[in-house]
């Protein structure tokens, strides 16, 4: 069984051969240039490879408004987050609808051409409230939104140069790659797991529960832009590698990175993450407690409830919902409120804040929270971080 890409077709916006040479020449010598933000660069790659199917570019006004208001594209296809490119009000005056715009990264490398169909203004406060559920700029997604340009540029893109990466090369698999891998391995039912944190025992518990019902799992950590304080991607990847090496069946788990920026949109990002994993070929998707949440902006299970607003057929991927999980001293193992009859005083559960505090103080998290090998990696990271920050500044030397 091959799961259909969202919208019915896996998009490919990468230009090759003579067409690429001709378009790159025009982009270099004739087109006006627009410098991209980090999130826009991630989005270009994901549009280009079909991870954001059915999107073929950045949203025009009708799609943008429909997504913000109804969680659907104008066509009616489910889509919960705006995917847009911004420009300053003055800067946008130089771009004309119907013309092409060269999109470049921070080094000036031209990545793509935007076939500009429409430029339009938008209400940032409305988007903040409808998409993120708050207008507070303390929310990292809202803060990024408020710092964005005041105009949006919509249109299809043609990608000339994919963003260059020096890290996680063997784990950078496009949707076409993961789909082909699943086919070769004979995996017909694959569950996807999204994470921006090291996998701890609670994650391991729900992953292995899911593995009981499917052929395999795609561990698909996000390695794009995250907020300050999140553990760096290279440390997290080291944790995933040691975990999969020692505690998972090698013939039933695949590790690949998701090169996207974290938006922290809670419930709406849970739907978004599910749809993207569908494009990577997953048939199932794990939704845990406070998926894609930040702070106290979302309820613990809002990311579960939002799936009730859609028919499973129109999402096209099966969500697997998991309750709050912990180690129970009376059960002598991992459990959740759905399976454990014991009082909460028997439950060992640490918040991310508590774990970071322990690591910062040189204490390793207990084995009831995370595997010893992962605790070692995290402890060494925090020890190095602590030593770095304790170094005297040059002004004091």
The residues annotated as belonging to the active site are: 196-197
The CA-atom distances, in angstroms, between 7 and each of 56, 117, 270, 286 are 11, 21, 18, 21
Distance CA 393, CA 397 (A): 7
Q: Which of 93, 146, 90 is CA-nearest to residue 119?
A: 93
Q: Cα-atom radius of gyration of the chain, to the nearest Å?
A: 22
Q: Which of 37, 224, 264 is CA-nearest to residue 128?
A: 264
Q: Which of 340, 317, 316, 338 is CA-nearest to residue 327?
A: 340
Per the CB < 8 A criterion, the answer to whether 338 and 323 are in contact is yes
Answer positive or negative: Cα dihedral of 261, 257, 205, 269. positive
Per the CB < 8 A criterion, the answer to whether 114 and 57 are in contact is yes
């Amino acid at each position: 069984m091959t799961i259909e890409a969202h919208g019915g077709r896996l998009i490919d916006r990468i230009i090759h051969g003579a067409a690429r040479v001709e378009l790159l020449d025009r982009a270099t010598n004739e087109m006006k240039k627009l410098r991209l933000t980090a999130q826009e660069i991630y989005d270009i790659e994901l549009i280009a490879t079909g991870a954001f199917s059915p999107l073929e570019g950045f949203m025009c006004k009708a799609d943008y408004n429909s997504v913000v208001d109804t969680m659907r594209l104008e066509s009616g296809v489910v889509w919960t987050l705006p995917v847009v490119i911004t420009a300053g009000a003055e800067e946008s005056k130089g771009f004309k609808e119907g013309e092409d715009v060269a999109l470049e990264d921070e080094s000036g490398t031209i990545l793509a051409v935007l076939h500009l169909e429409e430029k339009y203004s938008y209400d940032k406060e409305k988007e903040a409230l409808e998409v993120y559920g708050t207008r507070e700029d303390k929310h990292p997604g809202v803060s990024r939104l408020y710092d964005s340009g005041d105009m949006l540029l919509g249109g299809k893109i043609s990608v000339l140069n994919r963003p260059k990466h020096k890290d996680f090369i063997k784990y950078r698999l496009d949707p076409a790659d993961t789909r082909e891998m699943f086919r070769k391995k004979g995996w017909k039912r694959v569950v996807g797991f999204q994470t921006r944190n090291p996998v701890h025992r609670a994650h391991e518990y729900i992953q292995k529960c899911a593995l009981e019902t499917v052929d395999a799992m795609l561990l698909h950590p996000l390695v794009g832009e995250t907020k300050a304080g999140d553990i760096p991607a290279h440390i997290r990847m080291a944790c995933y590698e040691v975990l999969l090496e020692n505690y998972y069946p090698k013939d039933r788990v695949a590790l690949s990175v998701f090169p996207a920026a974290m938006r922290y949109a809670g419930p709406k990002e849970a739907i978004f993450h599910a749809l993207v994993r569908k494009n990577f070929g997953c048939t199932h998707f794990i939704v845990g407690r406070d998926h894609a949440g930040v702070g106290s902006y979302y309820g613990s299970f809002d990311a579960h409830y939002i799936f009730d607003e859609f028919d499973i057929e129109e999402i096209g991927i099966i969500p697997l919902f998991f309750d709050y999980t912990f180690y129970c001293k009376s059960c002598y193992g991992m459990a959740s409120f759905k399976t454990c009859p014991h009082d909460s005083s028997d439950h060992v559960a640490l918040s991310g804040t508590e774990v970071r505090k322990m690591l910062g103080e040189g204490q390793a998290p207990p084995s009831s929270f995370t595997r010893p090998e992962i605790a070692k990696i995290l402890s060494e990271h925090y020890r190095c971080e602590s030593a770095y920050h304790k170094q005297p500044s040059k002004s004091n030397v």
